[in-house]
């Protein structure tokens, strides 16, 4: 199969916001406890944070990490996680039917962010609680000393304001499963009043309002319209979530699902434009896609805890999807979609980061390792920064349940003007055929390949487990040739590729 891609230096989509490569950590299962935090672990620092996990996180250069939920946040009291540890209460977590010792709270999380080179994106409980605790939380985190909340923070060991800029106004408030679920009107009004109060404290905060939990929600996309009509002038981003699954064991359909993601983003972008026009506004609201990933492998195993048949365990194994090679291809396609929609998606968070539907896994007292999906996320985060190129792609396609004529080769391109590089991320979704790639580079001057990483595997179901930590890993590619301004080479069937070119 022949695939032709044309990239022109001046034919671009957008400058990519680095926050596209953010992540999410929830008080859920072992994400925090025995994930990032495990006092007594051989690599733990003086704060009890695992050094092996911190290293894997640091390597990803994650701009922001969203915290502390997720569904968890909708019944969370942030005050439970401050002050001396021995005085912190153990609470029942209604979202996941577990308990939480609160040994990790906002101080420990922000300290950890600093240690791993990321920044916090904090979520506020607008489920079981309201405006007043929202403003108290923000004042506690960011307020000056000499005021009640600032002084309390100081007495808990941090005199300087944390200066957290990015705040989520609740989580998935459209979902009937959410503690404190609301109608779009109820939520829109509350979010707007909360945003007004937070802006009265600090105009420069960046605020994220809840959009739909997924595009199959019965209230989508009317939810976005109503919520934005309440909040358009007071918020900056609308939050979207989407999880991917191959329950029917149909790889072709599974790997076409980023079409659904693309349509979802396009529909919400149009809804934003509609409300903007209706309000005669000049403000641009953008999308924070603050939960995305593959999530289905662990569903059956989780039932006992989620149905309440295990009591209220602390940090049980929950949502511990073991990702396979097929999921590498899926995550590659998802990230390509975000790059191609980077004009409107300014923030995206892989959900989640450690143990819970995560690229990083740990064993209590044991090692931490990279799941298969760590790699496409790593390559996008490290090399996917710059300007998204508006590629012209000519690829044969196939008909899937979600769409017809889905291109066999999914591709995104990024031009880093400072570093004079062009990076191509390509997934060949064909089960049996090589893609004979011809990439025409226009307006970039000379080009030479400086890195080529390939992920293939004979078994789509291969995973990196505790005993097979390196079964699915990238390998140096070969066989790419540059002749003048054209790069040619073969992309093997079912493969993920990262190709970097020095240009100019
Ligand atoms: O990431 C797991 C859960 O998925 C989050 O808690 C929730 O926001 C979403 O439904």
Indicate whether residue 171 lines ligand 1 (CB < 6 A): yes
**Shortest-distance atom of ligand 1 to CA 28:** 6
Q: Is the CB of 70 under 6 A from ligand 1?
A: yes
State which ligand 1 atom lies nearest to the alpha carbon of 96. 6
Distance CA(30)–CA(33), nearest Å, equals 5
> How many Cβ atoms are within 10 Å of 252's Cβ, its own excluded?
15
CA angle 267/268/270 to nearest 5° reads: 65
- Taking alpha carbons only, the member of 245, 239, 457, 251 closest to residue 348 is 239
Let me know: does 53 contact 36? Beta carbons within 8 Å: yes
Residue 93 Cβ < 6 Å to ligand 1: no
CA-nearest residue for atom 7, ligand 1, is 70
pLDDT at 437: 98
Can you give the pTM of this predicted structure?
Answer: 0.98
**Over the range 446-455, which residues count as b (16 or more CB within 10 Å of their CB) and which as e?**
ebeeeebbbb
Q: How far does the centroid of ligand 1 lie from the alpha carbon of residue 64, in Å?
A: 17
- The residue whose CB lies within 8 Å of the most ligand 1 atoms, and thus the one to mutate among 68, 76, 171, 354, is 171
The CB of 351 under 6 Å from ligand 1? The reply is: yes
| Nearest Cα residue to atom 1 of ligand 1 | 351
**DSSP states along 157-203:** T--S-----EEEE-S-TT-TTSTT---HHHHHHHHHHHHHHHHHH-T
Task: Answer whether 253's CB lies under 8 Å from 206's CB.
Answer: no
CB of 172 closer than 6 A to ligand 1?
yes
Best mutation site among 288, 351, 358, 359 for ligand 1, i.e. most ligand atoms within 8 A of its Cβ?
Answer: 351
- Token pair in block for residue 76: 């969370």
321 lines ligand 1 (CB under 6 A): no
Tell the residue nearest (CA) to atom 2 of ligand 1. Answer: 70
Cα–ligand 1 centroid distance for 56 (angstroms):
23
Q: Whose CA is nearest to atom 6 of ligand 1?
A: 70
Nearest Cα residue to atom 3 of ligand 1: 70
* Residue 295 · residue 26 · CB < 8 Å: no
Does the Cβ of 456 fall within 6 Å of ligand 1?
Answer: no
Mutate which of 70, 126, 213 for ligand 1 pocket (most atoms within 8 A of beta carbon): 70
What angle, 0 to 180 degrees and rounded to 10, lies between the N-to-C axes of helices 131-142 and 184-201?
30
CA-69 nearest atom, ligand 1: 6
Instruction: Confirm or reject: Cβ of 352 under 6 Å from ligand 1.
Output: yes
The residue written with tokens 């999906």 in the block is 373
For the beta carbon of residue 90, count every other beta carbon within 10 angstroms.
12
> 490: burial class by Cβ within 10 Å (0-12, 13-18, 19+)?
middle
Tokens matching residue 270: 């149009």
Which residue's CA is the nearest one to ligand 1's atom 9? 70
Give me the residue label for tokens 């003007």.
Answer: 417
User: Distance from the CA of 67 to the center of ligand 1, in angstroms?
Assistant: 12
DSSP state of 19: G
CA of 242 to the centre of ligand 1 (A): 9
Provide the pLDDT for residue 226.
Answer: 98
Question: Contact at 8 Å (CB) between 244 and 257?
Answer: yes
Q: Ligand 1, closest atom to CA 352?
A: 1
Ligand 1 in contact with 69 (CB < 6 A)?
A: yes
Going from the Cα of 70 to the center of ligand 1, the distance in angstroms, rounded, reads 5
User: 351 CA distance to ligand 1 centroid (A)?
Assistant: 8
Contact indicator for 375, 474 with CB cutoff of 8 Å: yes
Q: Establish whether residue 239 lines the binding site of ligand 1, counting it when its CB lies within 6 angstroms of any ligand atom.
A: no
Report the chain's C-alpha Rg in angstroms. 23
pLDDT of residue 81: 98
Minimal CA–CA distance to 64: which of 208, 189, 193? 208
For the Cβ of 38 lying below 6 angstroms from any atom of ligand 1, the answer is no
| Ligand 1 close to Cβ of residue 35 (< 6 A) | no
For residue 178 and ligand 1, the question of a CB distance below 6 A is answered with no
Contact 343, 272 (CB under 8 A): no
User: Which residue from 239, 209, 185 is spatially nearest to 19, judged by alpha carbons?
Assistant: 239
User: How far is residue 68's CA from residue 125's CA, in Å, rounded to a whole number?
Assistant: 10
Cβ(71) – ligand 1 distance below 6 Å: yes
By alpha-carbon position, which residue is closest to atom 4 of ligand 1? 70
Q: Token pair for residue 184?
A: 């779009």
Contact call for residues 387 and 417 (beta carbons, < 8 A): yes
- Report how far ligand 1's centroid is from the alpha carbon of 243 (Å): 9
Give the pLDDT confidence score for residue 476 in this predicted structure: 98
Q: Which stretches of 58-149 are assigned E, i.e. beta strand?
A: 64-67, 91-93, 98-100, 119-124
User: Each residue of 316-337: b (16+ CB within 10 Å) or e?
Assistant: bbbbbbebbbbbbbbbbbbbbb
Task: List CB contacts of 178: < 8 A, sequence separation 6 or more.
Answer: 71, 74, 127, 171, 172
Phi-psi category of residue 480: left, alpha or beta, with phi > 0 → left and psi -120 to 50 → alpha:
beta
Provide the annotated active-site residues. 172, 291
Mind listing the pLDDT tens digit of every residue in the chain (504 residues)? 999 999 999 999 999 999 999 999 999 999 999 999 999 999 999 999 999 999 999 999 999 999 999 999 999 999 999 999 999 999 999 999 999 999 999 999 999 999 999 999 999 999 999 999 999 999 999 999 999 999 999 999 999 999 999 999 999 999 999 999 999 999 999 999 999 999 999 999 999 999 999 999 999 999 999 999 999 999 999 999 999 999 999 999 999 999 999 999 999 999 999 999 999 999 999 999 999 999 999 999 999 999 999 999 999 999 999 999 999 999 999 999 999 999 999 999 999 999 999 999 999 999 999 999 999 999 999 999 999 999 999 999 999 999 999 999 999 999 999 999 999 999 999 999 999 999 999 999 999 999 999 999 999 999 999 999 999 999 999 999 999 999 999 999 999 999 999 998
Spatial separation of the C-alpha atoms in residues 350 and 49, rounded to whole Å: 21
């Amino acid at each position: 199969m022949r695939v032709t891609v044309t990239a022109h230096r001046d034919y671009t989509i957008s400058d990519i916001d680095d926050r596209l490569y953010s992540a999410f950590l929830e008080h859920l299962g072992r994400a925090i406890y025995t994930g990032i935090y495990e006092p007594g672990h051989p690599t733990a620092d003086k704060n009890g944070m695992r050094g092996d996990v911190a290293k894997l996180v640091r390597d990803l250069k994650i701009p922001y990490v969203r915290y502390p939920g997720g569904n968890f946040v909708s019944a969370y009291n942030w005050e439970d996680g401050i002050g001396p540890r021995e005085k912190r209460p153990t609470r029942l977590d209604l979202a996941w039917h577990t308990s939480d010792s609160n040994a990790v709270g906002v101080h420990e999380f922000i300290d950890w962010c600093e240690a791993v080179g990321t920044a916090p994106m904090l979520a506020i409980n607008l489920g079981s609680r309201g405006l007043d605790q929202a403003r108290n939380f923000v004042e506690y985190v960011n307020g000056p000393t000499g005021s009640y909340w600032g002084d309390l923070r100081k007495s808990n060991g941090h005199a300087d304001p944390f200066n957290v800029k990015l705040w989520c106004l609740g989580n998935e408030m459209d979902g009937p499963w959410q503690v404190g679920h609301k109608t779009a009107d109820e939520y829109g009004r509350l979010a707007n009043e909360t945003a007004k109060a937070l802006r009265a404290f600090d105009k420069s905060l960046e605020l994220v309002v809840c959009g739909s939990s997924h595009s199959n929600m019965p209230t989508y996309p009317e939810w976005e319209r109503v919520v934005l009509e309440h909040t358009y002038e007071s918020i900056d981003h609308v939050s979207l979530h989407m999880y991917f699954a191959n329950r029917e064991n149909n790889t072709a359909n599974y790997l076409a699902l980023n079409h659904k993601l693309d349509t979802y983003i396009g529909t919400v972008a149009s809804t934003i434009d509609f409300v903007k026009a209706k309000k005669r506004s000049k403000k641009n609201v953008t999308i924070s896609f603050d939960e995305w990933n593959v999530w289905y492998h662990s569903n059956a195993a989780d039932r006992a805890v989620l149905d309440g048949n295990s009591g209220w365990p602390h940090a049980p194994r929950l949502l511990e999807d073991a990702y396979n090679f097929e999921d590498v291809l899926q995550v590659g396609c998802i990230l390509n979609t975000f790059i191609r929609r980077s004009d409107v998606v300014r923030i995206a968070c892989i959900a989640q980061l450690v143990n819970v539907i995560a690229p990083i896994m740990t064993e209590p007292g044991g090692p931490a390792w990279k799941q298969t999906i760590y790699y496409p996320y790593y390559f996008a985060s490290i090399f996917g920064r710059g300007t998204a190129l508006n590629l012209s792609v000519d690829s044969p396609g196939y008909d899937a349940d979600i769409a017809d004529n889905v291109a066999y080769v999914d591709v995104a391109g990024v031009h880093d003007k400072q570093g004079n590089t062009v990076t191509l991320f390509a997934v060949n979704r064909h089960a049996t055929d090589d893609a004979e790639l011809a990439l025409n580079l226009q307006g970039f001057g000379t080009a030479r390949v400086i890195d080529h990483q390939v992920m293939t595997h004979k078994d789509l179901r291969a995973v990196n487990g505790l005993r097979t930590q390196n079964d699915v890993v990238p390998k140096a590619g070969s066989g790419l040739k540059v002749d003048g301004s054209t790069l040619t080479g073969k992309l093997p069937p079912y493969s993920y590729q990262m190709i970097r070119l020095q240009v100019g």
